[in-house]
Structure 1
């Protein structure tokens, strides 16, 4: 297992990160404990969660149960000091989370304190803004994204307010570093500029979707990552499980994400099928598990800080973690580039 430094911090994390959004819905607490034990024993020191989780499906009844399970594991195992822990404050849109209101300074402070209590810890290593208050192109909103409707002054004031609240939490020792999620290049740069001007915490990471079927990060965000030393935490490296091949031919395995969320957040639609088949064929040609191939590709990207995996079974978890041991040759990367050129944005 390789380890990377988060941004310009001194925090070192495994290049594979254990995602948790199925814990409390598709996975029981006992299964969550087993996953954390196995991951830590196999070099994964980085866990990512959110107050919103579990998400499969989202429910006010299960809200924040994932954080509670992690806190229970910390209490039982005594291994809090061996884990780099990341969590997130939810944005607007869920009535059962602070009335569905946008993220404010007060919301950040309240959310941090609530997460600390649930997680049974006195600090969070990486605290992330789950999504911005203004519009963005993530969650399949790329097709109708229109930033011309945004108010610049309001957006800048909003970023400043959040940064100041995060700065207070850093000063209080409640969080060590800050990150963004579902952000754009402009938004990320403004966080950096405002933080530098006002002496506030510097963004260390951006957690955006990245996989063989969705590579928007390769463009402006990759340039920003390079020049500003900000790593990507890639979520959905398997495109919600699509790249495992489990949904080929219209299949919906019982208990899978696709059986709960029929289109997997807009990803599972006909245009992805030829591209997915091409990657499945390539994996078969080289004797790779298709999930392992998809994760191994993400690990080759120069801007990658860590790839967030998620599994509902131990077999899946073992395959995903083992992807860190795969080396893709230059010729294999050329094959991937050829498929990507043929199917540049199928989801």
Structure 2
């Protein structure tokens, strides 16, 4: 396992983070404990959860596992999130002080800890001024309930606004962004990656295998079958599957991924994880596994680094589709400027 600092902080985390969205849902408590044990055994120290994962059950499973392993809490960097409904009341959702105060306290109880290392806004809340959310984060840091604030699923302007407001108001800074990022979904490169690099914010990619696509388990123009999420539950996500299946870019990426993987003699999934782990500003890649076998396969990519040639091959095949403006050539030309006489 390799390690990096968490954004611009000095806290050190493993370059792979154990995501626990499957805990209590697709993974039983026994399997979840086995995943946690294996992850730590392989040098992982960063665990990510959220209150809405299995409606609190994921946090409870982690809490029982921590309680059964004295001293483990001090070895881990634990992250959780709040924002989405955990009750039926009108104030049981959002990024307000009212909701986040309750949500954070409930998460701490379920985890059985006095503080979490990273507390993340799970998504933007259009009803709540970001100043209110940042003020809550700062108070929670001062109270010792969280060490760092982070955000997830923000747009470029939202992240930039949050980062600047925190800085100029002297509040605890946003240190991480958790977005979807993989070879098939690279849209954060249009603006969010630049914001993160400029502001010292670490990227924590979720769905690095694009919901299983980058493992190679799906075939062109064939309905999913077997032990896959879509194979076991064809009614869930088939519309999105069909849309991605119809895109020529999808299969261009898969061909390039298979080419690199075969050259390396490793599974496609490991190449996909290695690619995203070494993207600019990425701190740690969130692994989401249903089984211990899947986790083992993912962990094998922890120290895999692609050559420049392999990276370029994947970059070119997966280049995001851009509109004419503002991200296409005309838009880039609008913002370009060179010194007189320069080459």
Q: Please tell me the TM-score bracket, short chain as reference.
A: 0.7 to 0.9
Q: 1:195 to 1:267 in 2, by over 3 A?
A: farther
Map 1:254-293 onto structure 2 (within 5 A): 254=227, 256=229, 259-260=232-233, 262-263=236-237, 266=240, 269=243, 270-272=245-247, 273-282=250-259, 283-293=261-271
For the residue of structure 2 that corresponds to 1:305, the secondary structure is coil
Q: Which residue of 1 aligns with 2:289?
A: 311
| Equivalent residue number for residue 96 of structure 2 | 104
The match for 1:46 is 46
| Structure 2 partner of 1:296 | 274
Residue 87 of structure 1 aligns to a residue whose secondary structure is: strand
Corresponding residue number in structure 1 for 2:111: 119
Cα distance, 1:3 vs structure 2: 1.1
- 2:331 corresponds to: none
Residue 42 (structure 2) pairs with residue 3 (structure 1): no
> Which ranges in structure 2 are unaligned for 5 or more consecutive residues?
323-343
Residue 198 of structure 1, CA deviation: 1.9
Cα deviation per residue 1:186-234 (whole Å; 9 max; x = unaligned)? 1111111211222211000000000000011222112112111111000
* Matching residue of 2:120: 128
1:73 corresponds, among 58, 61, 65, to: 65
Task: Extract structure 1 runs of 4+ deviating beyond 6 A.
Answer: none
Instruction: Tell me the residue number matched to 2:78.
Output: 85
Mark the CA change 1:258 to 1:240 in structure 2 (over 3 Å): closer, same or farther: farther
Do the aligned partners of 1:47 and 1:85 also contact (CA within 8 Å) in 2? yes
Taking the aligned partners of 2:191 and 2:315, their CA distance within structure 1 comes to: 18
Partner of 1:145: none
Of the two, which has the highest radius of gyration?
2
Contact 2:149/2:172 (<8 A) preserved: yes
Q: 1:253 Cα shift?
A: 2.6
TM-score using structure 1 length: 0.84
Give the drift of 1:263.
1.8
For 2:41 and 2:254, locate their aligned partners in 1 and report how far apart those are by CA, in whole Å.
34
Q: Distance in 2 between the 1:14 and 1:334 partners?
A: 25
What is the CA distance between 1:266 and its match in structure 2? 3.1
CA shift for structure 1 position 99: 6.2
Q: Given that residues 95 and 125 in structure 2 are in contact (C-alpha distance below 8 angstroms), is that contact kept between their aligned partners in structure 1?
A: yes
Q: How many residues align?
A: 314
What is the TM-score normalised by the length of structure 2?
Answer: 0.85
Is the contact between residue 224 and residue 230 of structure 2 (CA under 8 Å) also seen in structure 1? no
Deviation at 1:167, TM superposition (A): 1.3
What is the CA–CA distance in structure 2 between the aligned matches of 1:121 and 1:90, rounded to whole Å? 20
RMSD of aligned residue pairs (Cα, Å): 2.1
For 2:150 and 2:5, the matched residues in 1 are separated by 13
Output one character per residue of 1:145-204: Cα deviation in whole Å (capped at 9) or x when no partner.
xxxxxxxxx6xx610111111111111100000000001121111111211222211000
Unaligned stretches of 5+ residues in structure 1: 55-62, 135-153
Aligned to 2:223: 250
Residue pair 2:63, 2:111 contacting (<8 A) in 1 also: yes
Compared CA separation, residues 212 and 285, structure 1 to 2 (3 A): same
**Distance in 2 of aligned mates of 1:173 and 1:344:** 44
Contact map agreement 1:297 1:328 (CA 8 A) in 2: yes
CA distance in 1, matches of 2:34, 2:293: 12
Q: 1:97 to 1:25 in 2, by over 3 A?
A: farther
Within 1, Cα distance between the matches of 2:68 and 2:230? 29
Separation in 2 of the partners of 1:308 and 1:98?
31
* Aligned pairs for 1:136-215 within 5 A: 158-215=129-186
What is the Cα deviation at residue 276 of structure 1?
A: 4.9
